[in-house]
Amino acid sequence: MKPLHGKVALVAGATRGAGRGIAIELGAAGATVYVIGRTTRTQRSEYNRPETIEETAELVNAAGGKGIAVQVDHLDPDQVRELISRMEQEQGRLDILVNDIWGSEYLTQWNVPVWEHSLEGGLRMLRLAVDTHIITSHFALPLLIRSGNGLAVEITDGTEEYNSQNYRLSLFYDLAKASAIRMARALAHELAPHRCTAVSVTPGWMRSEIMLEHYGVKEENWRDAAAKEPHFIISETPRYVGRAVAALAADPQVSRWNGGSLSSGQLAQVYGFYDLDGSRPDCWRYIVEVQDAGKPADATGYR
């Protein structure tokens, strides 16, 4: 019996990147996964990327779960309300909510002060990173609560400890990623009386489709990117954070993490899972002890 057999998950933002990796791993653990995003085989979002929710759902099926692709714009409350109503009718439950919507790689202007950063782009980023998560939680959590022992996961970039001590590339990006951590902490407080758990989880330096494209490599030859960025040697696949979320969802004692800020590398040490290549990247420790410390790139002891 797979540990998440009979469980129902909603992964908001599952078209690509971390969301896709999480959806696949929840499926591999036996869950029914609602794969939510805006880009389908017949319609692209303004992101204009080729990845689709149908592809993700097929990958969930191939992993051993059941993937159900649904096109939803999570900035539209009516669409989210309809999604949850459909899930209630079709499944009668929700056990795992993953708020992974981001969609702002092309909006961030790295290391640009707020007075020079595009205001339109920055505010759009906050809407995508914050408003979507709140709208989704508003409609989805009553169904999660009804199922009992549910898990809500806010996906972000950076741990609370790291983000509180470091400037994260722009005011807008900094605020977006800190907001997910605070949302998880607030949800933890609100969900605790209902025997449900909320956490924030960050991947490390993730080899998303966009990141691989940026460095001109594919997953098969990703190490070649170290010629451009030596510290890329600490990177991880999207499936690694997927395994982190699946491990949390299968843990009967998951409430011990309630309100916590967690990372894929940290959880790998606790739950004993590995990335696809059999390694255990510990990116955030590496960033502090090697990259930010100005040391030469060397992942020895960190993966």
| Whether the predicted pLDDT of 295 surpasses 90 | yes
Q: How far apart are CA 184 and CA 177, in angstroms?
A: 11
Mean pLDDT of the chain: 97
| Integer angstrom CA distances of residue 297 from 36, 235, 302 | 37, 12, 11
Residues 297-301: contacts with CB within 8 Å, 24+ apart?
Answer: 297/226, 297/230, 297/231, 297/233, 298/233, 299/233, 299/234
pLDDT digits (tens, 9 = 90+) for 102-151: 989 899 899 999 999 999 999 999 999 999 999 999 999 999 999 889 99
Residue among 208, 146, 198, 201 at smallest CA distance from 14: 208
Going along the chain from its start, the domains and CATH numbers come out as 8-208+237-287 (3.40.50.720)
Which pair of structure tokens corresponds to residue 160?
């609370």
Look at residue 46 in the predicted model and tell me its pLDDT.
87
**Are 286 and 226 a contacting pair, CB within 8 Å?**
no
10 Å CB burial of residue 82 (0-12, 13-18, 19+) is middle
Average pLDDT over residues 39-66: 96
| Whether the predicted pLDDT of 208 surpasses 90 | yes
Average pLDDT over residues 85-92: 98
Look at residue 1 in the predicted model and tell me its pLDDT.
80
| Whether the predicted pLDDT of 179 surpasses 90 | yes
CA angle 82, 133, 74 (to 5 degrees): 40
| Whether the predicted pLDDT of 7 surpasses 90 | yes
Look at residue 297 in the predicted model and tell me its pLDDT.
98
pLDDT digits (tens, 9 = 90+) for 27-36: 999 999 999 9
Look at residue 105 in the predicted model and tell me its pLDDT.
87
Residue among 240, 293, 286, 265 at smallest CA distance from 301: 286
Look at residue 244 in the predicted model and tell me its pLDDT.
98
The helix/strand/coil state of 199 is strand
| Whether the predicted pLDDT of 47 surpasses 90 | no
| Whether the predicted pLDDT of 18 surpasses 90 | yes
Residue 111 φ/ψ region, left for φ over 0, alpha for ψ in the -120 to 50 degree band, beta for the rest: left
pLDDT digits (tens, 9 = 90+) for 216-272: 999 999 999 999 999 999 999 999 999 999 999 999 999 999 999 999 999 999 999
Those residues whose C-beta lies under 8 Å from the C-beta of residue 239, and which sit 6 or more positions away, are: 21, 24, 25, 275, 276
Q: How far apart are CA 184 and CA 260, in angstroms?
A: 8
**Are 238 and 203 a contacting pair, CB within 8 Å?**
yes
Q: Within a 10 A sphere around the Cβ of 19, how many other Cβ atoms?
A: 29
Look at residue 44 in the predicted model and tell me its pLDDT.
94
**Are 184 and 154 a contacting pair, CB within 8 Å?**
yes
DSSP state of 38: S
* Residue that has been written with the tokens 């303004």 in this structure: 46
Look at residue 158 in the predicted model and tell me its pLDDT.
97
